[in-house]
């Protein structure tokens, strides 16, 4: 297990904390502050310990250039509201401006550094940028689980210059997701949706012997359907993965459960006509946009006695209301289970939150890609550089 912020002395130390503040914005306001709230336990602990705290994070994809629309200013405002005090935003994360802001901090005070991705060296993990980011500090705390699968300067590079430990959120994510991989309570059902089959194949290979059933919907199932010879109309699939999907179906046997019917439409629009058809009767010019009602019943039967559920990826195009019913119904089924229910991926969590079902889940992971990668392996760049418990 990794050392956490509680395992090192941070009293009076200058601490750089990497948070995941990649929150959705609309009209310069924060749509969902759950990632900010998830960071509060680590931040509160550091404040109570009297650390001198600088928080760094990214927001969006500014491509290595300053973009006012992707400033962390709204995050500073919301963080201040949650803490009940003003949180200053420094206009840069490196250089004289940042160093002066950090040097002025009293014990228990914090400053938020501006978007790390305003510098091209962040995503390229440039050693010099990492060195400059780390230079003013004594300790590095990584609490950004959602970026743990990326080797960026603020997640991996700085750990080569500072003692590096996990934040409390990071530690919780590691324990829960590793527990799914290594020692789940059975029956254990994995639910996969979303778009990409390729990203899920390594996880399926790793977990095949440890799950009791795998329920597959969303765009992910399309490649498996094609591997079975099912015509899927204009639905998207990954041609490069068809052979691997077919091999996996052969290995999985009855463990893997695919849709038996689907909601189909000609276009992705709110007002488009939809039909429910058997999975092998999708019209040639139509596309699958959601799982159908019979599939919901089949999936629900496989969940009736389950003790552990891990779910990543919506089962339809939930960004359009008419195509979210399958995800909503499955969320309602899972919310009533007497089981450990772990949900990963921003789109899945956003959908459940919009249906008012998020509070009924055991754990909402802040990671999407990182969630999947940790289900497969401990070999995540930002985790590898954290100190291990002795």
As for how many domains the chain has, the answer is: 2
Last residue of a domain, one of 113, 143, 168: 168
Average pLDDT, the chain: 95
Q: Tell me if residue 3 is catalytic.
A: no
Give the pLDDT of residue 49.
Answer: 98
Per annotation, catalytic residue among 6, 14, 181, 196: 196
How far is Cα of residue 371 from the mean position of the Cα atoms in its chain?
6
> Residue 255 catalytic?
no
Residues 90 and 206 in one domain: no
Given 122, 143, 168, the domain boundary residue is 168
Task: Spot the catalytic one: 18, 35, 78, 150.
Answer: 35
**Radius of gyration in angstroms for the set of CA atoms belonging to the chain, rounded to a whole number:** 22
Q: Is 50 a catalytic residue?
A: no
Do residues 209 and 181 lie in contact, with contact meaning Cβ atoms separated by under 8 Å? no
Residue 91 domain boundaries: 5-168
| Percent over 70 (pLDDT), the chain | 100
Helix (H, G, I), strand (E, B) or coil at 220: helix
Residues 314 and 359 in one domain: yes
Closest CA to 326 of 313, 309, 338: 313
Identify the pLDDT of residue 269. 87
**Spatial CB neighbours of 96, under 8 Å, sequence gap ≥ 6:** none
Give the three-class secondary structure for 360.
helix
- The residue out of 168, 202, 236 marking a domain boundary is 168
Task: Kindly tell me if the per-residue pLDDT of 369 is higher than 80.
Answer: yes
Residue 198: exposed, middle, or buried by beta-carbon count in 10 A (0-12, 13-18, 19+)? middle
Residue 94 — very low, low, confident or very high, per pLDDT cuts 50/70/90? very high
Please name which of 288, 224, 278 lies closest in space to residue 256, comparing C-alpha atoms: 224
Taking the C-alpha atoms of residue 91 and residue 89, their distance in angstroms, rounded to an integer, is 6
Which domain CATH number covers 244?
3.40.50.1260
- Same domain for 263 and 136: no
Options 346, 367, 368, 373, the catalytic residue: 346
Q: Establish whether 196 is a catalytic residue.
A: yes
Predicted TM-score of the model (pTM) = 0.90
pLDDT at 208 over 90: yes
Same structural domain, 315 and 370: yes
Q: Is residue 30 part of a domain?
A: yes
Whether 275 and 263 have beta carbons less than 8 Å apart is answered as yes
- Check: CB of residue 241 under 8 Å from CB of residue 201: yes
In terms of pLDDT, which residue wins out, 390 or 327? Answer: 327
Rounded mean pLDDT, 220-234? 96
The pLDDT tens digits for 104-137 are: 999 999 999 999 999 999 999 999 999 999 999 9
Of the candidate ranges 34-48, 70-84, 246-260, 261-275, the one whose mean pLDDT is the lowest: 261-275
- Do both 67 and 101 map to the same domain? yes
Is residue 357 in some structural domain? yes
The residue assigned the tokens 């949650």 is 82
Full DSSP string of 306-346: -SEEEEES-SS-TTSGGG-HHHHHHHHHHHT-SSEEEEESH
Q: What is the pLDDT of residue 322?
A: 85
Q: What is the DSSP string of 335-351?
A: HT-SSEEEEESHHHHHH
User: Is there a single domain that holds both residue 78 and residue 154?
Assistant: yes
Question: 110 and 253 share a domain?
Answer: no
Q: Which of 80, 179, 246, 369 is catalytic?
A: 369
Same domain assignment for residues 203 and 157: no
């Amino acid at each position: 297990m990794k050392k956490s912020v509680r395992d090192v002395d941070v009293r009076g130390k200058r601490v750089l904390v990497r948070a995941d503040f990649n929150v959705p914005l609309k009209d310069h306001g924060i749509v969902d502050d759950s990632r900010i709230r998830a960071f509060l336990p680590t931040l509160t602990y550091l404040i109570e310990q009297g650390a001198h705290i600088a928080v760094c994070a990214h927001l969006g994809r500014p491509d290595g250039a300053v973009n006012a629309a992707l400033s962390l200013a709204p995050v500073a405002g919301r963080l201040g509201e949650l803490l009940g005090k003003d949180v200053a935003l420094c206009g840069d994360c490196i250089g004289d401006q940042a160093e002066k802001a950090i040097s002025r901090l009293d014990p228990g005070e914090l400053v938020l550094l501006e978007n790390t991705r305003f510098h091209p060296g962040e995503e390229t993990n440039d050693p010099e940028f990492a060195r400059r980011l780390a230079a003013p500090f004594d300790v590095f705390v990584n609490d950004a689980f959602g970026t743990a699968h990326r080797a960026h300067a603020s997640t991996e590079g700085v750990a080569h210059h500072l003692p590096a430990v996990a934040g409390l959120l990071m530690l919780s994510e590691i324990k829960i997701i590793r527990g799914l991989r290594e020692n789940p309570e059975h029956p254990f059902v994995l639910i996969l949706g979303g778009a990409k089959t390729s990203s899920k194949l390594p996880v399926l290979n790793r977990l095949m012997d440890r799950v009791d059933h795998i329920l597959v919907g969303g765009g992910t199932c399309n490649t498996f359907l094609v591997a079975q010879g099912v015509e899927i109309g204009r639905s998207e699939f990954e041609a490069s993965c068809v052979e691997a999907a077919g091999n996996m179906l052969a290995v999985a046997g009855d463990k893997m459960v695919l849709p038996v019917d689907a909601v189909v439409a000609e276009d992705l629009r709110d007002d488009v006509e939809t039909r429910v058809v058997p999975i092998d009767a999708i019209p040639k010019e139509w596309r699958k946009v959601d799982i159908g009602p019979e599939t919901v019943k089949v999936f629900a039967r496989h969940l009736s006695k389950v003790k552990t559920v891990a779910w990543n990826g919506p089962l339809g195009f939930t960004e359009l209301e008419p195509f979210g019913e399958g995800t909503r119904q499955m969320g309602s089924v899972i919310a009533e289970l007497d089981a450990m229910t772990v949900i990963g991926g921003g789109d899945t969590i956003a959908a459940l939150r919009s249906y008012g079902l998020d509070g009924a889940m055991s754990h909402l992971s802040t990671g999407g890609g990182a969630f999947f990668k940790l289900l497969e392996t401990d070999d995540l760049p930002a985790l590898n550089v954290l100190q291990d418990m002795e």
